[in-house]
Amino acid sequence: MHSIWARINNTSALLSSCMMALLAAIAVSSLLFTAQPTGGNVNIASIQVYPGQTRRYATKRQDLAFVDFNITADLTPLFNWNTKQIFLYLQAEYNTRKGVKNEVVIWDRIVRSKDQAKVNVVGKNKYNFRELSTTFKNIAAANYTLMYNVMPYVGVLTYGEAARTTEPVEFPPRKTRV
């Protein structure tokens, strides 16, 4: 009665519908059973501000901030059967003289397994930390936050905060290079 092509079409439509329903159930279940990381801590050891030049404009001078920090966090509760990897990053948040809120990523890491989920880092900023107005003078103190992004195999990305500095950290006066 039906040709072979009609039967193949019906079978593949049924299988793809079942697969989509299964993937939707996985995505919803991973949203319902999210956990929070435990015991995170961010300490800023020192901040140094030096004058520097931008690569794009050789005549434009900008202040560059160098941040030394200590990070500890336990991200093992974030790993479950649907977690592919976690993108972890340290973000500096401060207000400019004009009242604009800036959020700058100064360090990041990809955590690929539960074995790497206990993070203990003593380091410095990985990316240039500079102020667009060319100087950190009269800039409000910055809060430093350890943020994470859970990347699942199936479903939506989940963002969160693992740790934060207890008090805002002031930018020191600019030093001159020797």
State the sign of the Cα–Cα–Cα–Cα dihedral 101, 146, 109, 128.
positive
Six token digits for residue 98: 């004009």
Q: CATH code for 34-164?
A: 2.60.40
- List pLDDT tens digits, range 91-117: 999 988 888 899 999 999 999 999 999
In the chain, where are the structural domains located?
Answer: 1-32, 34-164
Residue 22 vs residues 15, 25, 81: alpha-carbon distances, Å: 11, 5, 15
- List pLDDT tens digits, range 127-178: 988 887 778 888 888 999 999 999 988 888 888 999 999 888 888 887 776 4
pTM, entire model: 0.81
CB atoms within 10 A of CB 121: 15
State the sign of the Cα–Cα–Cα–Cα dihedral 87, 111, 93, 67.
negative
CA distance 122 to 67: 11
CA distance 111 to 78: 11
